[in-house]
């Protein structure tokens, strides 16, 4: 799960998918990262923590980190929150095999439409919409791979 700073969207996506995977008893390794380095080591945004908490999901153990080259080897799927993150990830991927792992997360719900999950950082009211979008996407990911 990758967004810009790894404090709003990708921590929510990580928390949502982890929650769903745990309920199904699956042995998946799920993580999140940002393309930028501004928030490394920080907790998710308090508004992300709060919206997750209202859905009985705790994301307070997460800490922001920046995507690294090893992620393209360590993970089978790298999900971008928007087209900017997607393009950044493709540039970071060193091989065609690594690039093939990069997908737009909302394409699991709306194939080939490349719908962006909006960055709610500047909009307090955007966190509910983002949570709902990511819950739909994570459910679709689970249906496809579980």
DSSP state, 10?
Answer: H
**Could you tell me whether strands 102-104 and 78-80 are parallel, antiparallel, or unpaired per DSSP bridges?**
parallel
Active site residue 119: yes
Select which of 3, 8, 45, 88 is catalytic.
3
Select which of 45, 82, 88, 119 is catalytic.
119
- What are the backbone dihedrals phi and psi of residue 79, each rounded to the nearest 5 degrees, phi first? -105, 120
Measured distance CA(102)–CA(12) in Å, rounded: 18
Active site residue 3: yes
Active site residue 143: no
Select which of 8, 9, 47, 71 is catalytic.
9
- Per the CB < 8 A criterion, the answer to whether 119 and 34 are in contact is no
Residues 6+ positions from 131 with CB-CB distance below 8 Å = 12, 16, 51, 52, 55
Residues annotated catalytic, as ranges: 3, 9, 119
């Amino acid at each position: 799960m990758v967004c810009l700073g790894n404090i709003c969207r990708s921590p929510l996506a990580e928390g949502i998918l982890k929650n769903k995977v745990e309920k199904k008893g699956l042995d998946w390794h799920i993580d999140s990262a940002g393309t930028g380095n501004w928030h490394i080591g920080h907790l998710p945004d308090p508004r992300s923590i709060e919206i997750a908490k209202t859905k009985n999901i705790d994301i307070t153990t997460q800490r922001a980190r920046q995507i690294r080259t090893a992620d393209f080897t360590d993970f089978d799927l790298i999900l971008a929150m928007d087209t900017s993150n997607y393009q950044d990830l493709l540039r970071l991927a060193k091989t065609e095999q690594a690039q093939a792992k990069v997908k737009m997360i909302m394409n699991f719900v709306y194939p080939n439409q490349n719908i962006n999950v909006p960055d709610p950082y500047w909009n307090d009211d955007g966190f509910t919409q983002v949570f709902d979008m990511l819950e739909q996407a994570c459910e679709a990911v689970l249906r496809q791979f579980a």
